[in-house]
Amino acid sequence: MGDMEDPDRPRDPPNPSVLSLLINKELLSSRKGQLLLGEVASSFICFVCFCASAAVAFVTAPLVFFLSALFLLFAYSTKFNQRFKGFHWPLMDFLRCVSASIVYFIISIMAVSKFGDGSSKAAGVFGFIATIVFALDFYFIFNELANFLKGGGSHDEPQNTRDADSDSDSD
């Protein structure tokens, strides 16, 4: 009985360094977090489909974009981007999304048109879905960057957690 813990005894709080590695629930409920989750999921599914297809030569692009989306999800959830000011995070995220949209669009067209097996077609379809998700992300980032620059800009970065109901196209 000495090894069993008393259920009424309060537990020790978890180590704060371990808590900083967990996904932030506020991020997951935001538009940016949902887009990042969509990017991670669609890139991973596209990667798996390309691995199983005859278009296996295109497997590198989904893997790179999956890892970059996973890194940014981790960075935003642990607020690494606020602690490390060496990069202009929104601009880096914008360039990542633009390049991912273009690359996914090209390899999806090639996978659907040149290869006849079912997994190549599925990889192409999920590639088009990834294209849409990445394009939505760079559209919202572009609007935030444009509003930031229109406002005169300061040394601080624009906020990525803008209210989803706000209309950023109107002045």
User: CA nearest 127: which of 142, 148, 106?
Assistant: 106
Convert the pLDDT of each residue in 30-80 to its tens digit: 898 899 999 999 999 999 999 999 989 999 999 999 999 999 988 888 888
Convert the pLDDT of each residue in 25-39 to its tens digit: 777 788 988 999 999
Predicted TM-score (pTM) of the model is 0.74
